[in-house]
């Protein structure tokens, strides 16, 4: 290993410790009480080093959120590889919902405080233009491929269907932030899938057509994961 590669690996390890510390303190104290000074102390790193990478707390926690979203995306791809039917929007959204529900850091960021999510959304708008555009393009191409394969309804245009998906997802996550539902996590995940399927999908789409869609989208999602990795590297080096 070269000296420069060794330095990069040490930097990656330090930033992983910083992000892990941020997640632990978020769960222990809540977003409002966590400071960069405390994160640095918990990670065993000088606060000046942390500020070299993250100009503010929002930038740091947005990076933590991106790392978790990257794991969610790879989980979706693994599920699709195991069963082409998992490429359907209802199943994708079910997977994402369960991932958020079962990941305590994601739950805290998405559902813990609407003001916190608003701050992170503002930070993302300021700094994640290219990645956000790539994700939006990916959703549109995903839906377009399913429409062409006969797996999605066409009584709404593509833009309207994307809006429906975003509205349904936002609504389910918002409701989860309200007082406890009598439904458990699996029931709520099944319900979000049922809602999406009824709104956007045709009944029993042919498995062969879904396999073709998976093949078409492979390069797209590989590229999207590469974009996530590029952005994470940019933020942590």
Number of domains in the chain: 2
Same domain as 49, residue 64: no
User: What are 65-103's pLDDT values in tens digits?
Assistant: 899 889 888 999 999 999 999 999 999 999 999 998 888
Same domain as 32, residue 95: no
Same domain as 231, residue 212: yes
User: What are 108-129's pLDDT values in tens digits?
Assistant: 877 776 677 777 777 777 778 7
Same domain as 65, residue 40: no
Q: What is the CATH number of the domain that holds 42?
A: 1.10.10.60
- DSSP reduced 3-state for 33: helix
Say what the pLDDT of residue 118 is: 73
- Rounded alpha-carbon distances, angstroms, from residue 150 to 113, 114, 192, 211: 40, 38, 22, 12
Q: What is the CATH number of the domain that holds 194?
A: 1.10.357
Same domain as 91, residue 156: yes
Q: pTM of the entire structure?
A: 0.84
Domain encompassing residue 12: 1-53
How many helices (H) and strands (E) the chain has is answered by 11, 0
Give, for 192, the enclosing helix (H) or strand (E): helix 185-200
Same domain as 79, residue 43: no
E-only strand ranges, 27-130: none
Same domain as 230, residue 185: yes
Say what the pLDDT of residue 103 is: 87
Say what the pLDDT of residue 201 is: 97
Same domain as 73, residue 105: yes
Residues in CB range of 41: below 8 A, 6 or more apart: 47
E-only strand ranges, 129-211: none
Q: Which residues of the chain have pLDDT under 70?
A: 1-11, 113-114
Say what the pLDDT of residue 157 is: 96
Rounded distance, CA 205 to CA 95, Å?
19
Say what the pLDDT of residue 113 is: 65
**Residue 44 — left, alpha, or beta (φ > 0 → left; ψ -120 to 50 → alpha)?**
left
Say what the pLDDT of residue 9 is: 47
Rounded distance, CA 220 to CA 226, Å?
10
């Amino acid at each position: 290993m070269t000296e420069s590669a060794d330095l990069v690996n040490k930097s990656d390890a330090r930033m992983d410790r910083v992000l892990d510390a941020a997640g632990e303190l978020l769960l222990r104290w809540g977003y409002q009480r966590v400071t960069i000074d405390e994160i640095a102390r918990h990670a065993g790193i000088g606060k000046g080093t942390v500020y070299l990478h993250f100009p503010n707390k929002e930038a740091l926690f947005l990076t933590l959120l991106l790392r978790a979203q990257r794991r969610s995306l790879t989980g979706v791809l693994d599920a699709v590889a195991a069963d082409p039917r998992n490429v359907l929007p209802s199943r994708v959204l079910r997977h994402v919902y369960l991932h958020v529900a079962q990941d305590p850091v994601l739950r805290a960021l998405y559902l813990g405080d609407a003001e916190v999510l608003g701050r992170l959304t503002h930070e993302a708008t300021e700094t994640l233009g290219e990645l956000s555009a790539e994700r939006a393009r990916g959703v549109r191409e995903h839906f377009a491929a399913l429409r062409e394969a006969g797996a999605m309804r066409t009584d709404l245009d593509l833009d309207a269907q994307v809006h429906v998906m975003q509205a349904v997802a936002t609504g389910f996550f918002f409701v989860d932030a309200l007082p406890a539902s009598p439904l458990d996590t699996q029931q709520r995940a099944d319900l979000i899938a049922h809602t999406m399927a009824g709104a956007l999908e045709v009944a029993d789409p042919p498995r062969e057509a879904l396999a073709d869609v998976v093949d078409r989208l492979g390069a797209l999602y590989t590229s999207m994961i590469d974009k996530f990795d590029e952005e994470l590297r940019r933020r942590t080096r």
